[in-house]
Amino acid sequence: MNKNSNTYQILYAAVMVLLVGTVLAFIYMALKPKQSENIANDTRKQILSSLHLATPGDAQVKDTYEKYIIQDLLVDGDGKVVDSTKNVAFDVQMKKNVKLPADERLLPVMKCKLDDGSVKYVLPVYGAGLWGPIWGYIAVNDDGNTIYGANFSHEGETPGLGARIAEQPFQDEFKDKHLFVEGAFKSVAVLKKGQKATNGAEQIGRLPCPLRGFPEEIAGCSQPCRGR
């Protein structure tokens, strides 16, 4: 058959697309359960990391998570608990949640009890980075004000620049910062070195800011993207 005839080309393209599509679909379906489990375990690791708990191996991560996370809560904008069934906060899709109008959002909170008996609350946060979504978990002491730990992740920020939000030195800077300043909710501002938060929030100023677009009511900064 003439390789450059229209019939051959159309047949070749059709067979190739069918073949590649079938192979990719088969691989996706075959690997999906394992991938979902890995993604859930990774989320658990991120939450445990915000609590400064050593990240266990994949086999133990679920047990460790269930040991320390004692209650899942869904709260409304006024802080009123509307649901507290098991895993209700863990299962919240933050990507969909932040697209809802503020008064319709139900915000997930995870209540944790550490080995020393102290109680912490983990708040998931979600927003836009430079190239894609970024998300994280902020662990707060039981005073509801002092940050105990933080963990951030991203989908595709620039290595060596924005991607450094996922590194420990950046995350450690959030420890002991306060969400409230003189009784007013300010959260923590991430700014370039030398800049000052206009709303009086406590700030982190060492790295280029990757936190643009964190929902204001969660991240709290009136201008969270000034550092970019």
Partner 1 sequence: MLSKKNKEALFNPLSKDNPILVQILGICSSLAVTASLEPAIVMGISVIAVLAFSNVIISFLRKTIPTNIRIIVQLVVIAALVIIVQQILVAYNYDVSKKLSVFIGLIITNCIIMGRLEAFAMHNRPWPSFLDGVGNGLGYTIILVIVAFFRELLGSGTLFGFKVIPQWCYDHGYMDNGLMILPPMALITLGCIIWYHRAHNKELQED
Contact footprint for partner 1 (CB under 8 A):
3-4, 8-9, 12-13, 16-17, 20, 23-24, 27-28, 31, 34-35, 38-39, 41-42, 131, 153, 155-161, 163
Find how far residue 160's CA is from the centre of its chain.
19
Closer residue to partner 1 in complex, CB, 133/215: 133
CB of 30 to partner 1, least distance (A): 9
Structure tokens at 89: 């906060």
Closer residue to partner 1 in complex, CB, 5/85: 5
CB of 172 to partner 1, least distance (A): 14
Q: Is 151 within 8 Å of 175 (Cβ atoms)?
A: no
Closer residue to partner 1 in complex, CB, 7/143: 7
Structure tokens at 37: 């489990």
Find how far residue 69's CA is from the centre of its chain.
17
CB of 5 to partner 1, least distance (A): 8
Closer residue to partner 1 in complex, CB, 27/100: 27
CB of 193 to partner 1, least distance (A): 10
CB of 35 to partner 1, least distance (A): 5
Closer residue to partner 1 in complex, CB, 47/201: 47
- DSSP β-ladder status, 188-190 and 202-204: parallel
Structure tokens at 56: 């266990």
CB of 33 to partner 1, least distance (A): 9
Buried b / exposed e over 149-180, threshold 16 CB at 10 Å, is: bbbbbbeebeeeebbbbbeeebbebbeebbbb
The helix or strand, by DSSP H or E, that contains position 36, with its residue range, turns out to be helix 6-50
Instruction: Give the orientation angle of helix 58-68 with respect to helix 6-50, to 10 degrees.
Output: 50
Closer residue to partner 1 in complex, CB, 72/157: 157
